[in-house]
Amino acid sequence: MTDGLQVIRRALLSVSDKLGLVSFAQGLRELGVELYSTGGTYRVLQEAGVAVREVAELTGFPEILDGRVKTLHPHIHAAILARRDDPEHRATLARLGIVPIDLVVCNLYPFAAVRRRPGSSHEEIIENIDIGGPTLVRAAAKNYAFVGVVTDPSQYAPVLEEMRQHQGALTYQTRERLAATAFEHVAHYDREIAQYFAQLLQSETFPLHLHLHFERRQFLRYGENPHQQAAFYIEPGFAGVSVATSQVLHGKELSFNNILDLDSALGLVREFEQPGVVIIKHNNPCGAAVAGELVEAYQRALEGDPQSAYGGVVGLNRVVDAATAQAMVESGQFIEAIIAPDFEAEALEILTKRPKWRANVRLLRAGKLQENGQRSAFDYRHVEGGLLMQTRDLTRDDLLTARVVTRRQPTEAEWADLRFAWTVVKHVKSNAIVIAKAGQVVGVGAGQMSRVDAVRIAISKAGPRAQGAALASDAFFPFRDNVDEAARAGITAIVQPGGSVRDQEVIQACDEYHIALVHTGIRHFRH
């Protein structure tokens, strides 16, 4: 090692992922590097005509136990771990006839992929627990002062480029960065294995030790506010329909707040069976509607609160057609982002050809919104010094088990409005009130400290449209004043969880006003 440079004279290659392997090995050979390899990696290189020798030539010992033991040998690990600046280490290598290995190229058995692959047996999963690979990687990473370690095909090109610039050597800084990546590679691999066994043996929903792993996709311009830094991390292996797995078709970079709002839009709109549209503003739905046609659903969602909708995010549960796209651009609204299963070609052209729209709107293709598709099982909320974990509120209660507690039963039309309002209120910040009529949200009261204030806000938004509408509350009414306000506005049906000590007082008030009241027994707080 001179001035931090370590010449790479000898490399050991043992990879599960063969992507780019041959060209990388050829590049190493062109730089005069002597190559040793194992099993399948050796066969691939040999068939490609790359000059390579078997590891058994270094160890004097064949691969055994169906390849389970290949590199677990003192001649391999001494060659990697020996300090080049230690005379005793050099003397030991010379006495035992061990030649140093300067570069280890190793990625591990595809445990995570096999674990997540449908139909994989327990035996297959266990067989993909790599033993020799992590040991090689850790040894090389520990001795990064003298040894390089490559764990991902994406590193092949920059490693070769640096070696060409430095006559076959790698810099200290590069070896250090490679080591850091290598330790993270092994740590993630071990976490996957630990999580598999935890799920296999765990009798409780929440593990004693929680290990989360996310990969950084991108830096964001800023967080909730310009003075905050932010980045977007994704969950490796997650294949469900989500903002994280969506494809950005058009528009500038998504912001921190865009991602939060898009997630909320997708979470709500996927609950509707009919063509549906939601408009999210500050993480709350200010408009939502279902209809026979998507364009009508958009128009009715916008009518719910056009003032609040300005600068919002739109979610749709059907492929965006030309008529819907045209309605959006003609609405005079500024839309931050649109997420939908897909966009017809003509719709894409409409949404991106106007200068104002082309410059500002982001379009995301989410894919088919399959209700039985993969969903995240848990919600996580960070608090200073700790983390809250809960199962996600994925309840699809359609009021089948709800009880009518008043003398008057809801009409068929009121039942439809109650179901729709109850679906939407689950996605509104508590205290939450939603007023709906004929498949359209006409008033929302969100995030109020007092429930009756939330009722008043929703009623003020609804105006005359509250006449004959249904009202949903995410939690019980603590006092009858909520019913009094609703009755004055013309509300005819209410759905709420029930469970208050004053339930009877609230029921009596509804009977006085001939309002149909439904108790669900289920609460939907969203803090």
DSSP one-letter string for 230-266: EEEEE-TT--SSSTTT-EEEESSPPPHHHHHHHHHHH
CB-side exposure of 478: number of CA atoms within 13 Å? Answer: 7
| Residue range 93-108, pLDDT digits in tens | 788 888 898 999 998 8
pTM: 0.77
Distance CA(277)–CA(455), nearest Å, equals 23
| Domain ranges (residues) in the chain | 6-201, 243-365, 403-519
Q: What is the CATH number of domain 6-201?
A: 3.40.50.1380
State the pLDDT at residue 180: 93
For residue 214, give the DSSP letter. -
Inform me whether the pLDDT recorded for 378 exceeds 50: yes
What average pLDDT does this structure show over 284-294?
95
| Residue range 181-240, pLDDT digits in tens | 999 888 888 887 887 777 777 666 777 777 787 888 999 999 999 999 999 999 877 888
pLDDT cut 90: percent of the chain above it: 57
- Of 478 and 114, the structure prediction assigns the larger pLDDT to 478
Active site residue 282: yes
Catalytic residue among 73, 89, 142, 188: 142
Distance (Å) of CA 338 to CA 276, 313, 357, 521: 13, 6, 11, 35
What single-letter amino acid sits at 372?
N
What average pLDDT does this structure show over 375-388?
86
Model confidence at 286, pLDDT cuts 50, 70, 90, reads very high
State the pLDDT at residue 487: 95
Q: Compute the chain's Rg from CA coordinates.
A: 31
- 92-101, 280-289, 335-344, 469-478: least confidently modelled range: 92-101
State the pLDDT at residue 1: 44
* Topology match between the domains 243-365 and 403-519: yes
Alpha helices in 331-462 (DSSP H): 345-353, 355-360, 412-425, 451-462
State the pLDDT at residue 175: 93
Inform me whether the pLDDT recorded for 504 exceeds 80: yes
| Secondary structure E strands in 111-229 | 148-150, 169-170, 215-220
State the pLDDT at residue 16: 85
Active site residue 73: no
For residue 475, give the DSSP letter. S
Residue 331 tokens, joined:
């609405």
State the pLDDT at residue 64: 62
Inform me whether the pLDDT recorded for 2 exceeds 60: no
| Residue range 19-67, pLDDT digits in tens | 999 999 999 999 999 999 887 888 999 899 999 988 877 766 666 666 5
What average pLDDT does this structure show over 275-285?
94
Residue 280's H or E segment, with its range, is strand 276-281
State the pLDDT at residue 113: 78
Inform me whether the pLDDT recorded for 307 exceeds 70: yes
Pick the CATH number of 243-365 from 1.10.443.10, 1.20.120.790, 3.40.630.10, 3.40.140.20: 3.40.140.20
State the pLDDT at residue 130: 78
Model confidence at 71, pLDDT cuts 50, 70, 90, reads low
What single-letter amino acid sits at 476?
F
- Of 405 and 115, the structure prediction assigns the larger pLDDT to 405
Question: Quick check: 106 and 136 in contact, CB under 8 A?
Answer: yes
Distance CA(6)–CA(296), nearest Å, equals 67
The answer, yes or no, to whether the previous bond of 372 is cis (omega within 30 of 0) is: no
What single-letter amino acid sits at 334?
F
Residue 232 tokens, joined:
């977007």
- 19-33, 65-79, 381-395, 413-427: least confidently modelled range: 65-79
| Residue range 429-453, pLDDT digits in tens | 989 999 999 999 999 999 899 999 9
Backbone angles phi, psi at 141, to 5 degrees: -65, -40
Alpha helices in 36-117 (DSSP H): 39-47, 56-59, 74-81, 87-96, 111-116
Topology at the third CATH level for domain 403-519: Cytidine Deaminase; domain 2 (3.40.140)
